[in-house]
Structure formats: C-alpha cells, structure tokens
Amino acid sequence: MTIDKGISRAGGRADASSPGAGGGDGPAAAARGPASPIEFRLDPASGVPTYLQLVQQVEHALRLGYLKPGDQLPKVRDAVAALAINPNTVLKAYRELETKGLAAGRPGQGTFVQATLSQIALPELTVLHRSLLGWLASADAAGLDEDGMAALFTTALREFRGRRGGSGGRRGAAGGGTEGVA
C-alpha cells in the first residue's frame, strides 16, 4: 500500500490555481526535442471518436500546408500530456495515418509525415474560398438553407468524382474513411 486509508480528508475545494502543477506539460516542454509544427486539440462535443479527431487534424494540416513531408507529428508522450488521453488512442491514430500512407514511424524517433494531401498554394486557396463564399451567397438568395447547401455540394462532389472515373483519391475533400491515398 502506498498510503494508509482515511488518515485525513483533503478539506474543501481546491485553491483557485496550483501554479506549476502542469501534469508534466510545462516541464516536458523544456525537455522536448525539435517540436512538431502542429498541436492537437479535442472537441468533446463533436461526437467524433478521439483517435479520428487526431487523424482528421493531421489531414487538415496537410491540406492547408501546416505539415509537409518530413515533419514530425507530436510525440505520443507530448500529445498524451497535453490532452490527458490514453497513449493507445494516439498510437491508434498514427497507425491509421500509416495505413493511409500519410505517415511513417521511425524507431526511437517518432512518427513523421510521409506524403501530402492536395498541396495548393495559399493565394490560390484564398481565391477558391472566396468563390465558394460567392456560391453560398447565391444559394442563400435562391432560398437554400445550410443543410440544402451541404447536400447539394456533396451530391455535386460525388458526381464530379464519378465523372473523373473514381480516381478521386488524394484530392477528395470529403475525408471519408474509405478514401485512400492514390
């Protein structure tokens, strides 16, 4: 036994703050090697399983150019300390990224980005973003609500993918689980 039971109760509520009690986060930061360009965050209300949130954030970062081939993904220990999640969850996410061919583990070093997703220059992206906003405005003017817009976009995307002969692969933005990397 570590501690005898029932010696004393810890009294009332915790103080307003416990400086430095960062659960290894702060101290670990100092010991960190070359850091990953990205940090994970979690949305508990999204209903998306935790490991999948991590996978999607890496894919998102790849699409937006935050991550490039050769970049290191957050170390398992760092992700665990920052998010207070089970290390197996991070490992599961990295396995999924490896299966998709997007990342590869290097023994003793960590997991690194292997491939990229639809690299597109930022200015180009801005232009596309703006034209999409224009489309949304005209859809709104035509009386379409948000669900209607999403449904129309998804249908059009599916049609587009079908017309290209199912070679959607890497460029598909819908991020479906079955969508592999070409």
3-state SS of the chain is CCCCCCCCCCCCCCCCCCCCCCCCHHHHHHHCCCCCCCCCCCCHHHCCCHHHHHHHHHHHHHHCCCCCCCCECCCHHHHHHHHCCCHHHHHHHHHHHHHCCCEEEECCCEEEECCCCCCCCHHHHHHHHHHHHHHHHHHHHCCCCHHHHHHHHHHHHHHHHHHCCCCCHHHCCCCCCCCCCC
**15-23, 107-115, 147-155, 174-182 -> range binding other proteins (CB under 8 A):** 15-23
**81-89, 113-121, 142-150, 161-169 -> range binding other proteins (CB under 8 A):** 81-89
Is 2 among the residues that bind other proteins (CB under 8 A)?
yes
Is 81 among the residues that bind other proteins (CB under 8 A)?
yes
Residue 154 CB, shortest distance to other proteins, in Å, is 18
User: Which residue of 38, 55, 83, 102 would you call a contact of other proteins, by CB under 8 A?
Assistant: 83
Is 23 among the residues that bind other proteins (CB under 8 A)?
yes
Is 80 among the residues that bind other proteins (CB under 8 A)?
yes
**61-69, 72-80, 113-121, 152-160 -> range binding other proteins (CB under 8 A):** 72-80
Q: Where along the sequence are the contacts to other proteins (CB under 8 A)?
A: 1-15, 17-28, 42, 44, 47, 50, 76-77, 80-89
